[in-house]
Amino acid sequence: MQRRETFRTSSGIELPNEYGPEDLKTIDPREDVSRPGEFPYTRGVRESMYRGRFWTMRQYAGYATAEESNARYKYLLENGTTGLSVAFDLPTQIGLDSDDSLASGEVGKVGVAIDSLEDMLKLFDGIPLDKVSTSMTINSTASTLLCLYIAVAKKQGVSLDKLSGTIQNDILKEYIARGTYIYPLKPSMRLITDTFAFCSDHVPRWNTISISGYHIREAGSTAAQEIAFTLADAIAYVEAALSTGLEIDDFAPRLSFFFNAHNELVEEIAKFRAARRIWARLMKERFGAKSEKSMMLRFHTQTAGSTLTAQQPEVNIVRTTIQALAAVLGGTQSLHTNSMDEALSLPTEQAARIALRTQQVIAYESGVADTVDPFGGSYAVEAMTTKLEKIANGYIEKIDDMGGMVRAIESGYVQREIQEAAYEYQKAVEEEDAIVVGVNRFRIDEDNAIPIFRVDPEIERGQIERLKALKERRDSDKTGNALDRLENAAATDENLLPFILESVENLATVGEISNRLRKVWGVYQEAVTL
């Protein structure tokens, strides 16, 4: 079968027939003595990496009601998951209660429906929050969901300094690639810096943001763009925090990142190494960080949902394994492996178990975790790391010249770059220059026969009834007064987290809190990009 005539990675890096010693000449001499756990952390953020302990094995899960999601979390923990990762439904993500007319048909569909503290208590019932690390994929309403989590911890009698986990809280990538924004950019950035400051004082082990390249890649970016746009977002967050008077080493150690793992094994391994190197130098040379922890790019990885196919879904297990292997070889701190059926539905229990077992086989049977950075010194990996670093730095410099990431987003530049990359890839698939097994090559006529998970449509009705009952029995005066204080504070420069926490503890809902902030700040209107 004829292969293509030119070989390039997703980032346009031309691949030679072979790599050799001459390719190492492109490497910065400062890297020749770099070891794992040493600046600039190209080879890993810890000296022993997985010889000390494995990455956290998280499985992203959440659907229907809090009770049903709680049962899935317990199932995953019983099967060896070492950290929770919560998926919220679309209404929760965009600050709508389940009884809002705009939420109709979406309640509990792509994640769990959380309207109030009562839901959050059910979600974590029987799960001790001082023993489990929890990641929450939430952005526009991240501060509210964090406060709900804190309120649950207080109900459990857990000291806040014992809480560990992450909120995604990365609003810039929502404007770029995902779309679950609510407010204009400036007040959205304020919520993030308020969260930084609050957690620095009260929840010191909490990762206050997970700056996400994952969704940028899912929208169609290249590997180099994923690095560049993610780190440019991070620069904007750091600058915003510094402008409020925070010191770099007070908040930077709790910044974390979230990357995609795609199919091109060598490029993906190199991508993670390049991202660590760029970030370390940015923090030290640009922002003057002194703490080593401020310079360490720690990241969670999820395998690439956009690569999963509805055709021959069992083949997705193979794709996910390659992607997970790239993440581990690249030095990830935690990992989610997608289930084979996610192009068709939410995962079944069996599919979620196979996805978890994929990580466990890599950890316990493959041997790749027994040596730190086993591909370090590879001609191909080292050369690719340096080339990706150069391309990514070029994008970052261009964004700096435009006035920073917020300006670049407002102008539509970042969105256009991703759109063009996505178009080029789709064209390559249609012209069979990029092969997708089972889609444009090696097709079969058989229908897929795997089980499909379906959310009961009655879930929405039950959730609305529970929400109505909550509103009827709560102390409406206390709830209303807390919301009034939040609304008034939003018009000042006070930190909003204490007001949000007071509101959720008085049983204000996610939608009510979001509506009070909408009233003060308005909503974001996306610019048209051509």
Q: What is the pLDDT of residue 222?
A: 98
What the block records as the tokens of 224 is 């180099």
Write the pLDDT tens digit of every residue in 174-218: 999 999 999 999 999 999 999 999 999 999 999 999 999 999 999
Mean pLDDT of the chain: 93
Q: What is the pLDDT of residue 453?
A: 79
Which are the contacts of 236, defined by CB distance < 8 A and separation ≥ 6?
172, 189, 404, 405, 406
Strands 299-303 and 83-87: unpaired
Q: What is the pLDDT of residue 2?
A: 56
Write the pLDDT tens digit of every residue in 104-148: 999 999 899 999 999 999 999 999 999 999 999 999 999 999 999
Domains of the chain by start residue, with CATH: 21-430 (3.20.20.240)
**Residues 228, 176: Cα–Cα separation, whole Å:** 13
**Residues 505, 499: Cα–Cα separation, whole Å:** 10
Q: What is the pLDDT of residue 529?
A: 53
Is there a contact between 510 and 111 (Cβ–Cβ < 8 Å)? no
Amino acid identity at 443: R
What the block records as the tokens of 403 is 């006035």
Write the pLDDT tens digit of every residue in 50-95: 999 999 998 888 888 999 999 999 998 998 888 898 999 999 999 9
DSSP 29: G
Which are the contacts of 361, defined by CB distance < 8 A and separation ≥ 6?
none
What the block records as the tokens of 391 is 């391309």
Which are the contacts of 44, defined by CB distance < 8 A and separation ≥ 6?
36, 37, 276, 331, 372, 373
**Residues 271, 440: Cα–Cα separation, whole Å:** 27
Whole-prediction pTM = 0.91
247 HSE (CA, 13 A, CB side): 7
Q: What is the DSSP string of 468-507?
A: HHHHHHS-HHHHHHHHHHHHHHHTTTS-SHHHHHHHHHTT
CA distances 176 to 95, 235, 411, 477, Å, are 19, 15, 11, 40
Residues listed for the chain:
530
